[in-house]
Every structure is written in C-alpha cells, then in structure tokens.
Amino acid sequence: MTRQRLRHLLHAGLTLGAFSLCFGLVTGVRAQTELLNVSYDPTRELYREINAAFIADWNARNPQKTIRTIRQSHGGSGAQARTVIDGLNADVLTLALAGDIDAVAQRSKKLPENWQSRLPHNSSPYTSTIVFLVRKGNPKAIKDWGDLVKPGVQIITPNPKTSGGARWNYLAAWAYAEKAFNKDEAKIRDYIAKLLANVPVLDTGAR
C-alpha cells in the first residue's frame, strides 16, 4: 500500500471514528480503549494495516481519548448488517453495499439515514474492481465473462444473498450479458443461470 493511499484511508478512518463516537455508538471507558469495526469478508488484511496506523495517529492527536485496540468482525456484508440490526454494537461500519448500511440506518436507528452524504465521496473512501483469478497457465483459456459459462469451468464466488462482493459480481455479469445480448432479457437470464450453475458452492462470504 502506498503512503499516499494509506494517508487517504487513514483520514477516512479518522472521520468515521469521530462520527461513530459523536453519535454515541460507544460509551465511557470502552470509547477510550477499544473500538469494533464490523466489516465485510475480504477486508481483514486491509483494516489490520489501517487500524495500526489509525491508532498511532489518533492517540498522538487525542492523548485524553486514547484507543488501545480496534477489534474486527468480518462476514458477508448482508449478514453483517443483520448482526448490527439485531444488536451487535459496532463503532464503525464498513460494508460492501450502501443498501446494507441503509438497512442498518432504517431498522436500527444507530446512525442517521443521511449517513452517505455526511462524508466525502459519498462515504466511500476507496473503490475496487472485479478481476478473474485463474489457475496457473490458465488451462481453461478464460479471458472474458463469456468464458465462464463453458462446460467444465468451475467458478468460485459467494452467495449474492449474503455477500456484498457477490452482488457486485452478479451485477458485473449482468452488465456483460446485457451488452453481449443486446438487452435481450431472456438471453441475459439464461446466461446468468448458466454462470451460477458453474458455481459448485455459493458460500456466505468472499473468504
């Protein structure tokens, strides 16, 4: 991770941390010693790195409100949203889909419904893209979305019902099919069905 990127993410983290504290998501001694970041599956290593930098920077700036540690909770984005709605006390919520955070705001009232407009970049401090990871040598010659529905191809992707990343995968596949089949919905749905048929296990999260 570059210093510039880490600095940008750290700034976003500082803003999110202050936001959660101001809205009373943490209380008393816990606010000065420990935070809980409830996030989606693939972000473990990312936030482990950011957390260390965030704690050092925060404690230097706020000696009266020091943070000892930031605990991490990871799972499918939709599943994580439900755990917060059901009572898990998150200090920071970093999920894959705006809709999941909307659900937390609307059903738990733990954050304001205008959360997205309160921070820069619609509260999205970073973006990502979808790539294909293939076996060494690419024995199936997979180069584009159309190759994923070939017989004998097996795809690893989680369940769109529980994983935010899987929903992005689903939408990207739909966008490809929409263009490839000139918006013919029957052909698009047939492509999606074949794609999902090549997924042996729809796991709950991207890990």
Same-domain check for residues 116 and 179: no
Integer Cα distance of 189 and 184 in angstroms: 9
Say which residue the tokens 């010693």 belong to: 33
Average pLDDT of every residue of the chain: 81
Same-domain check for residues 206 and 139: yes
Same-domain check for residues 147 and 183: yes
pLDDT score of 207: 62
Token reading at 13: 């983290």
Integer Cα distance of 49 and 13 in angstroms: 12
The total of structural domains in the chain comes to: 2
How confident is the model over 119-136, as pLDDT tens digits? 888 888 777 788 899 999
What's the CATH number where 87 sits? 3.40.190.10
Residue 124 to residues 16, 97, 137, 178, Cα–Cα distance (Å): 11, 10, 35, 27
Among the three residues 96, 123, 150, which one is the final residue of a domain in this structure? 123
Residues of the domain holding 179: 130-207
Band (pLDDT 50/70/90 cuts) for residue 25 is very low
pTM: 0.62
Same-domain check for residues 100 and 57: yes
Among the three residues 123, 157, 177, which one is the final residue of a domain in this structure? 123
Same-domain check for residues 43 and 86: yes
Among the three residues 91, 123, 155, which one is the final residue of a domain in this structure? 123
Same-domain check for residues 113 and 81: yes
How confident is the model over 59-116, as pLDDT tens digits? 999 888 889 999 999 988 888 999 999 999 888 888 888 888 899 999 998 888 898 8
- Pairs from 147-153 (Cβ < 8 Å, separation ≥ 24): 148/173, 148/195, 148/198, 149/191, 149/194, 149/195, 149/198, 153/198
pLDDT score of 2: 43
Quickly count: other Cβ atoms within 10 Å of residue 126's Cβ: 13
Same-domain check for residues 141 and 94: no
pLDDT: which is higher, 80 or 205 = 80
